[in-house]
Amino acid sequence: MNINPSLGSSSDKPPVSSNERTRAVYESRERAQRENEAYEEEIRLKAKIEVAKNLVKMALPLSDIVKATELPRAIVEGLMKIK
């Protein structure tokens, strides 16, 4: 396998093969990993919002909901308006 040093010069990334198919597979895996991380973050946000909605229904103070969920105050305020 030929290694192209200009493609893999960063110390935090492995060297990438100059073979186009190998490079395409590597880039595809990297893209899939980024998409998976974004999906997981979206799921965490949705879960926090659901928890916040439940805390709003329980009539907890705004500051407690913000602290418990780590959501921005504006989002929690919006949830309190639509309860």
Evaluate whether residue 13 is within a structural domain. no
Evaluate whether residue 4 is within a structural domain. no
Evaluate whether residue 68 is within a structural domain. yes
Evaluate whether residue 5 is within a structural domain. no
**pLDDT one-digit tens code per residue, 6-54:** 555 455 666 656 788 899 999 999 999 999 999 999 999 999 999 999 9
Evaluate whether residue 1 is within a structural domain. no
State pTM to two decimals. 0.66
Evaluate whether residue 70 is within a structural domain. yes
Q: How many domains does the chain have?
A: 1
Q: Which residue has the tokens 């991380």?
A: 37
- Dist. CA 60–CA 80, nearest whole Å: 10
- Dist. CA 69–CA 22, nearest whole Å: 42
Evaluate whether residue 45 is within a structural domain. yes
Please classify residue 69 by burial: count the beta carbons closer than 10 Å to its beta carbon, then call 0-12 exposed, 13-18 middle and 19+ buried: buried
Give the structural domain span for 38. Answer: 20-81
